[in-house]
Chains A and B, each alone.
Chain A
Amino acid sequence: MDIRLSAEEVAFRDELRAWLGEALPTLGNPPGSDDWAARREWDMGWQRKLYDAGYAGINWPSEFGGRGSTPTEHLIFLEETTRMGAPYVGMNFVAQLHAGPTLILEATAEQQARHLPAMLKGEEVWCQGFSEPNAGSDLASLSTRAIRDGDHYVVTGQKIWTSFGHVADYCELLVRTDPEAPKHRGITWLICPMDLPGIEVRPITTVAGSSEFCEVFFDEVRIPVENRVGDENDGWRVAMVTFSFERGTAFISELLGTMNQLAEMAELARSIPRNGSTAWDDDEIRREIGRLQAEYDALWALTKRVVSQAQRTGMPGPGGSVFKLYYADVKKRMADLAHRMLERNALVLAEDSGDEQTGGDMVASRLYVLSLSIAAGTSEIQRNIIGERILGLPKER
């Protein structure tokens, strides 16, 4: 066990810090959350800056245009960019963390040449077409149908929870190609251009009032067979490749951002009047801040263990499910603590500009955190994974 950075890792970090120090001040202010065109420009512009500086595809192999960094360097990259307030991966999430890595492992040379450079340069937004209204936790029961017609698949059905579906250029799409086969063996993974005739995208308004989620309807959409990744009916295996990525390093920025929020909450507690003193002097509040910090520090340590396992074996360890399960719970407690501190000010949501005086961003966060135990595999599914795959308890089915 060695948490020290090597001389090479320190050099990597220092170089990155120097670059961020120059690049970030040129960015200007981020766009409002509902201005989709501006958000696309902002996210893709940042991706292009990363590309020009040699930081795009940080963990992608160099033969596919990535930097070929080690998992530890990837961790340092996420830590430093978060710490210095760089833009989050945003609508590049699917391209960078799901679709890109999947294409690297499973796609043909032609498919890779067509999409990977564009993903790295910030020229393609991707979305995910996996979940359906009747295929959530039981994803393999998906029923969006693809019927082969010559050199096309004709796709009809509905996808849901498709983040950034209304701005995306491509969709990583799971379709049913063999309804007779057992459910895991009749699925195919397709690259679907989002401008094809027959695709309709409708935004969904979330409990937080945001609209990045979409429903996507497919009405006899003709997708070329050459857009298939992997073999026909082998799409489940191809999709599983991306899930292991999702549970590896996807939450590092989120965790570090949360730690920053906790530090802000501690500051806020010192300024909120309470019983002739401040909220900070309320033992219950102070202790809960201490406990939350202990738990976030532990999750950060757990992340380093998962990353170290990835460095040794090439795949993130099973700690990813533990992380996600535990983190969702702790983050909800932090949001609840914010409400205890804010009292009647907790009635007010922050505007886009962020109203740190009243902690309104923390109120919005209390809504957002509801999704943490649902998205990317519910907490119940994570517990099944831990119980069955790690502890060896018998499967329910």
Chain B
Amino acid sequence: MDFELSDDQVALCDGIRDLCQGRFDIDTVRGLADCDGVDRQLWGELADTGVFSLVVPEEDGGVGLGWAEAGLVFEQLGRALVPGPLVGTLLAAGVVDDSVVGLIERTDGPALVEYPDVLDALLVLDGDGVWRVDAAELSFEAAQSVDPLTPVGRVAKLPQGEQVSEETYGWANRAVYLSSALQVGLATGARELAVAYAQERQQFGKPIGQFQAIKHKCADMYSREEVARASLYYAGCVMDATMGPGLPAEPGDYLYFHGCTIERGDALGDHEHRELVRAVSGARILAAEAADHNGKDCVQVHGGMGFTWEIDAHLYLKRAWALTPCFGSLDRHAERIADMVGADPLAYTSSMG
């Protein structure tokens, strides 16, 4: 066991962070609000870097990495506040040919769709699988989003679309996992902004970070973020173990979760299912709450300035809020985990319950 990042993983994080700092500085990101959240040129650069084809096997033209790495990359994108339908576009890679792809859960009535004016296609998940709806089939009614960098539009009813996958369970878990990765990054970005301000802002003749009232708030922000990060990384490892793209079964290639051994190559059985649910829904809850609380604390540490549009604190908080309602409420995820606590193995067959 070595649960630290490998050298390659560290290099991957550094590379994406450099890309974000170079191409998605905060002024650029704020400017993306004027082009509905996505600039095709910049989006193309993300695609060319391999951000969306990370988990597509190399023989199919992808980068051939795992879900753990995808989580690390999305964490950096969240930290830099990079907007756009990142989750849908990554999951669509290798499945459809579109460049900017949204992802939504089917509802009976009207639906709110993120980034309505820039999508090539929208993937719709329901109990029967995944369906591609061409953007031309969608007509949106304008709605004002809570997050200036996550524009939304309302459709009266989602068209049926063309089926592109019969799998729902895996898609939903992957979407939840990638959203959680973005939120861990948001929690980090908000904490970094707050700590930087606490070091520089002076009151009563001292940097405010010298006062325990502020220092301890920053420490709590860091703790939430680290616990959420550990949860996310664990989920990434479990994803790779239970639904990785064609990893070979080798003798001695063991997984060890909560007291049981799994040999890779086994079908996804009850135990793996329980691990996956616990890991992904757990990361979901902790990442969403870390992003929410760190966003709020970042506003608070900035005092009056934190309540202004000028300071970036609100952008972290609003993105955290925009990403949270995704394939189940936090309460639903908590219930999902509760069903996995205790001694009785539970058969669990529906997509997200």
Contact = CB atoms under 8 A, between A and B. Distances in A.
A95 B18 CA distance: 48
Interface string A1-21: 111111101100100000000
A263 B343 contact: yes
A393 B195 contact: yes
B3 A4 contact: no
Nearest to B344: A267
28 contacts: A1-B5, A1-B6, A1-B9, A3-B3, A3-B234, A4-B241, A83-B259, A286-B338, A287-B331, A290-B335, A290-B339, A294-B231, A294-B282, A294-B286, A297-B278, A299-B230, A301-B233, A302-B226, A302-B227, A304-B1, A304-B3, A308-B1, A312-B4, A380-B212, A384-B215, A384-B219, A386-B218, A394-B209
B207 A394 contact: yes
Interface stretch (A142-150, A171-179, A239-247, A319-327): A319-327
B278 A383 contact: no
Contact of A386 (B206, B211, B219, B334): B219
Contacts of B252: 6-7, 10
Interface in B12-63: none
A332 interface: no
A301 B223 contact: no
Given A290-B339, A302-B227, A304-B234, 6 more contacts: A5-B256, A290-B341, A326-B224, A388-B215, A395-B210, A396-B211
A392 interface: yes
Given A283-B335, A387-B219, A392-B199, A1 B233 contact: yes
A4 B4 contact: no
Nearest to A396: B210
Contacts of B209: 387, 393-394
B237 A393 contact: no
A293 interface: yes
A288 to B, nearest CB: 8
A297 B252 CA distance: 25
B334 A287 contact: yes
Contacts of A319: 226, 230
Nearest to B284: A294
Given A1-B5, A5-B254, A308-B4, A387 B215 contact: yes
A386 B222 contact: yes
A396 B212 contact: yes
Contacts of A3: 1, 3, 234, 237-238, 241, 255-256
Nearest to A270: B342
Contacts of B210: 393-396
B187 to A, nearest CB: 13
Nearest to A262: B341
Contacts of B198: 393
B336 interface: yes
B220 interface: yes
Contact of B337 (A72, A293, A380): A293
B213 to A, nearest CB: 11
A289 interface: yes
Interface residues of A, number: 57
A263 B342 contact: yes
B126 to A, nearest CB: 25
A309 B1 contact: no
B1 A302 contact: no
Nearest to A264: B342
A302 B220 CA distance: 15
A274 interface: no
**Closest 9 pairs (CB-CB, A-B):** A290-B334, A294-B282, A290-B338, A298-B231, A301-B234, A290-B337, A387-B215, A302-B230, A386-B219
A396 B233 CA distance: 34
A391 interface: yes
B112 interface: no
B78 interface: no
A6 B256 CA distance: 10
B254 A298 contact: no
Contacts of B124: none
A395 B252 CA distance: 49
A1 B2 contact: yes
A266 B343 CA distance: 9
A108 to B, nearest CB: 35
B68 A1 contact: yes
Contacts of A5: 1, 254, 256
A325 B338 contact: no
B340 interface: yes
Interface string A55-76: 0000000000000000010010
Interface string B305-332: 0000000000000000000000000010
Nearest to A325: B223
Given A7-B252, A290-B333, A308-B4, A383 B216 contact: yes
Nearest to B220: A383
Interface in A348-384: 380, 382-384
A291 interface: yes
Contacts of A382: 219
Interface string B235-272: 01110010000000000111110010100000000000
A363 B212 CA distance: 33
A376 B262 CA distance: 37
A287 B340 CA distance: 12
A263 B241 CA distance: 25
Contacts of A7: 252, 254
A274 to B, nearest CB: 15
Contact of B199 (A299, A326, A394): A394
A133 to B, nearest CB: 23
A9 B1 contact: yes
B228 interface: yes
